[in-house]
Amino acid sequence: MSQVPSFVLSFEHDPRQWSKWRRWMIALVIWNLIAPVDLTLTFYSGMQEQIQDYFETTTFIATLGVGLYNFGATFGPLIGAPLSELYGRRPVYIGASVGFVIFSLGTALSPTIISLLGCRALAGLIGSAVFSLYGGSLSDMFTPDERGPLVALFTIVLQGAPTIGPVPSSLLGATVHWRWLMGFIAVWAAVITAVVICLPETEATAIRRRLAKEQGDVMAKVSTPAQQTKNIWSKALLTPIVMLRREPIVFWTAAYHAFVYGLLFLLLEAYPHVYNSHYDMSRQEAGLVFIAPFLGNLLGVLVYFCFLKPQYEAQQRATFMQSGGKREIAPEARLPGVTFASLFTPIGMFWFAFSAHPDVHWFIPVLSGVPVGMGMTLLQLSLFNYYIDLYPTRSASVIAANTAVRNLVSAVFPSIGVPLYNYLGIRNASLLLACISCVGFPTGVVLLVYGKRLRAASRWAKQDVVNVSDTASCLGVVAPLLGQPPQNTYGGTSSAAN
């Protein structure tokens, strides 16, 4: 049982007052729902060669199985968020999971490459709606102090699942038919869906609406006004675009994050090409290389929660105490984490560029994936927390904008990987990617130096204040990460005193 109520529901109906065991079980069911949706993103890569031979199609067409899934995932969270606000989280969880199972099964049974690609795109569109809900569900059931371990677990699956995805399918792809592998994803998701159907509603408005209906309240029968519905949809779909257009901080950081995240999907095609050219590895053998960036993802989570997060919280407490509770820590305090994270990806890519050579043992370039994976995870955790501190009333829309941009980039990158390496050569292509990834460090430095000035020129960014209200400094209530009222933080820390 949580010691902090939600302040919205009565004690007996407050999800935060459920037993700890029950709340953790619900969170783990949601975690297991996200896992197949995120894993299948790159799970396809390990059987791509099989699919290409089966349908007698080109490498470019076969590669679209990854890109189109990412393209669908661009819009799923933008649709899922307003639906959950209108109807509650439970119906969206059920709809997303059932739809994902149907189209995953459709992928496994597809008679043509066109139907397979269409089912992949629709599975990504419908299944990815869960990405806009999990943060809200955690906020409904847990206080900020309770959320730290859960956020670490969810970060591992959100970043680690697509990284490790090619490994199991590569191991099995040499002996198991691709239809059985895709069918496994559908069966896995179906089992979780059966449990999801039994989950209770946790969203406060939906619970109040149900209670009012059970008590015969006339107001419960009144539907959401058309104008309110329109505002919800416009906020979910248009605000992220406005933030990208009018906020240079959002645009440039989203562009860099999209590139770093998209590297994973470019490497899905580049790794098999490089390791086949230099070391005569099959595509299945090259898929095992992704164990290295997955280990980097795990190390990134450890570094963030064991070093960066405690360091920030200590600085936060010091600022609050020195000012006598009259001053909050500046959003720029998050930027050392962003700058630190932006060093790892270039290190890994330069390492890969100079070590991937027939005269160098294959294990040396494989290890270069560890800093690349660390950089991806650290950047996401640090950057999203910076967004939440910087835009306290628009953080959900900013994170939604960032996620949409990175998914769009990730939809394109798999198809340009091999052509890029063929045109520039293996070392030059890797050097180009390494040089582009270096942009993050000076960007972080510029924001550290000029961040306050940029905030002052912004309509939505948090401005420096002299006094901090007791409520803002004490409650620290967290809201969903995507498409929800922006009262939340990402990574288990709060912009208020924690």
| Domain assignment of residue 93, yes or no | yes
Whether residue 259 sits in one domain with residue 196: no
| Domain assignment of residue 178, yes or no | yes
Whether residue 268 sits in one domain with residue 147: no
| Domain assignment of residue 212, yes or no | no
Whether residue 176 sits in one domain with residue 269: no
Whether residue 239 sits in one domain with residue 126: no
Residue 176's region, left for phi above 0, alpha for psi from -120 to 50, else beta, is beta
How would residue 225 be classed by pLDDT, with cut points 50, 70 and 90? low
Whether residue 306 sits in one domain with residue 252: yes
Whether residue 231 sits in one domain with residue 90: no
Question: 372 lies in which domain range?
Answer: 226-462
pLDDT in tens, 138-157: 888 988 778 888 888 998 99
Residues 328-349 have a mean pLDDT of 90
| Domain assignment of residue 388, yes or no | yes
| Domain assignment of residue 489, yes or no | no
- Tokens linked to 463: 């401005």
Whether residue 277 sits in one domain with residue 141: no
| Domain assignment of residue 496, yes or no | no
What is the number of structural domains in the chain?
A: 2
As a whole number of angstroms, the distance between CA 363 and CA 382 comes to 30
As a whole number of angstroms, the distance between CA 269 and CA 287 comes to 10
pLDDT over threshold 70, residue 429: yes
Report the CATH number that the domain containing residue 27 is assigned in CATH: 1.20.1250.20
- Tokens linked to 78: 């933008």
Whether residue 245 sits in one domain with residue 144: no
More confident position, 5 or 364: 364
The last residue of a domain, from among 156, 178, 206: 206
As a whole number of angstroms, the distance between CA 233 and CA 237 comes to 6
- Tokens linked to 102: 């149907």
Place of tokens 């963030």: 304
| Domain assignment of residue 454, yes or no | yes
pLDDT in tens, 88-119: 889 999 999 999 999 999 999 999 999 999 99
Whether residue 251 sits in one domain with residue 378: yes
Q: Sign of torsion, CA 211 214 218 221?
A: positive
pLDDT over threshold 60, residue 446: yes
pLDDT at 8: 55
Whether residue 234 sits in one domain with residue 202: no
Mean pLDDT of the chain: 85
Burial status of residue 222 (CB atoms within 10 A of its CB: 0-12, 13-18, 19 or more)? exposed
Whether residue 253 sits in one domain with residue 119: no
Whether residue 240 sits in one domain with residue 167: no
- Tokens linked to 441: 């460090």
More confident position, 165 or 473: 165
pLDDT over threshold 80, residue 18: yes
Nearest to 311 by CA among 154, 93, 40, 498: 498
- Tokens linked to 296: 């980097």
| Domain assignment of residue 215, yes or no | no
Prediction pTM value: 0.84
Share of the chain above pLDDT 70, in %: 88
pLDDT over threshold 60, residue 297: yes
pLDDT at 263: 94
CA angle 121, 125, 127 (to 5 degrees): 110
pLDDT over threshold 90, residue 71: yes
Q: How many residues does the chain have?
A: 498
